[in-house]
Structure 1
């Protein structure tokens, strides 16, 4: 828009700066309003403004098409990233134990050994759960296949700044232990020291904008895996799957994404019609996305009951949107679903016919 209404300094006549500025500012307003009401372009009287807005809209649509392809790919990559982080944190206890062993060997060769140097750090390498994690064939296979590793310096920093100064760790090193004691300490290590550490957060936030949300999922997977390890089967335990049927789930989220994106303008109108007392421009962007996805799911997935969809998206709004979003999302989806069921747009079959009221 700025380029379209920039003055031509090589023109034979002096540019009308005031007119160009007014046209530019007006065109920007028309462009912004056109996303809510397409008719504002059709009724625009200034042909130059109209052409500028139409061209800007076309450029925007091209960029949106690129973005849609990019984010579709990103959906799958994010799930894969969660699984890789899951493996990475299962590797962490024995990587820390290796660092502790290195520290122990370095200190024992000192000419003068202080009480601080005399910590029995080698014990962590002998922890039965650490041994189980280091010998597990599934972790090793995933590590090799996906080339998973901790960056240079990260393990040393975790051990030096988080683990070694910890009082519980030092007490653990001084006591005899059995499998259950070893297991309890590793759970403490991960749950209390690692997953609550700002240092560890910093390692991941650097290159992953989703770390804050993904961390709770990864922590849950890691803790559940460790809790299920039994002493007599500790060297051959199975890893958890992110999904019980990943191929089916992958097909579902891709179809939901594709159909919601394809129907975006129609879904926008449906939402707009139901919030006449709200300013759609002031509506939280997250709420709009939640509403569109929910309506798209109700329309395009006949086997999912309406109430199941509504309840799921209410939970999503509680987690990711504003404090008032729960009631708002619930109210809008109730109205929209009732109307679309009556008009026959929403048609359920099989499990989707189950009444969850």
Structure 2
């Protein structure tokens, strides 16, 4: 996930801060470099957990709809393709991502209004409608769907940018580069047969 571009950018930022700072302590500069890189890695994991959170939000809504006293026939026969997405299932089983969730205790649960807004935007999109109408059910199709969703609704989402900036000042500068890592995940994660 960490590549030369990110490391170069962080080194330039740290060197600039080192020369601007009067103390010129090399140990603190090195510590700041490693901390900054670890925050970029945290952002990468946090953005991947957003995809899982969207799936979980959808699942919760479907369960709520099905548990009504008198659900309509349409509400009972919900298309579960979005919830049973193979790519998201693979992310949920990822050991490193699960370690991040446990260790960092970062979750999208407290951002339910953002999840609701984003999910409703996705539901109204042509990308979602085409995906749900398609008969194709493969890992690659599921991965392509999430790549399109990420590019269309998450990449340049101002509300998301504000939420991330509130959580960490480091994330504001790193989002563009980390987005490329997330896109790499859509390409590099191998297909696992379920």
Normalised TM-score (structure 1): 0.42
The reply to whether residue 127 of structure 1 matches residue 82 of structure 2 is: no
The reply to whether residue 75 of structure 1 matches residue 29 of structure 2 is: no
1:74 shift after superposition: 3.4
Matched residues in 2 for 1:73 and 1:119: separation? 55
1:78 shift after superposition: 1.7
**What runs of 5+ residues in structure 1 fail to find an aligned partner?**
1-62, 236-357
What aligned pairs does 1:48-63 form with structure 2 within 5 A after superposition?
Answer: none
Contact 2:52 2:92 in 1 (8 A): yes
Alignment correspondent of 1:262: none
Alignment correspondent of 1:95: 53
Contact 1:104 1:120 in 2 (8 A): yes
User: Compared with structure 1, are the counterparts of its residues 185 and 152 closer, same or farther at alpha carbon in structure 2 (3 Å cutoff)?
Assistant: same
Matched residues in 1 for 2:186 and 2:41: separation? 15
Matched residues in 2 for 1:131 and 1:219: separation? 20
1:121 shift after superposition: 5.6
Matched residues in 2 for 1:107 and 1:159: separation? 19
1:152 is aligned, of 110, 115, 125, to 110
Alignment correspondent of 2:7: none
User: Compared with structure 1, are the counterparts of its residues 211 and 161 closer, same or farther at alpha carbon in structure 2 (3 Å cutoff)?
Assistant: farther
Alignment correspondent of 2:164: 204
Aligned length in residues? 171
Alignment correspondent of 2:138: 178
Pairwise CA RMSD of aligned residues? 3.2
Contact 1:129 1:183 in 2 (8 A): yes
Matched residues in 1 for 2:176 and 2:99: separation? 24
1:136 is aligned, of 88, 94, 106, to 94
Alignment correspondent of 2:190: 230
Q: Secondary structure at the match of 1:99?
A: helix
Alignment correspondent of 1:27: none
**What runs of 5+ residues in structure 2 fail to find an aligned partner?**
1-20
Matched residues in 2 for 1:207 and 1:150: separation? 12
What aligned pairs does 1:1-357 form with structure 2 within 5 A after superposition?
Answer: 64-65=22-23, 73-110=31-68, 111=70, 113=72, 120=78, 122-154=80-112, 156-157=115-116, 159-176=118-135, 177-232=137-192
What does the per-residue CA deviation read over 1:245-277, in whole Å, with 9 as the maximum and x for residues that have no partner?
xxxxxxxxxxxxxxxxxxxxxxxxxxxxxxxxx
Alignment correspondent of 1:28: none
1:69 shift after superposition: 7.7
What does the per-residue CA deviation read over 1:228-247, in whole Å, with 9 as the maximum and x for residues that have no partner?
12224x78xxxxxxxxxxxx
Contact 2:164 2:172 in 1 (8 A): no
User: Compared with structure 1, are the counterparts of its residues 107 and 75 closer, same or farther at alpha carbon in structure 2 (3 Å cutoff)?
Assistant: same
Contact 1:128 1:182 in 2 (8 A): yes
More helix by share: 2
User: Compared with structure 1, are the counterparts of its residues 72 and 231 closer, same or farther at alpha carbon in structure 2 (3 Å cutoff)?
Assistant: closer
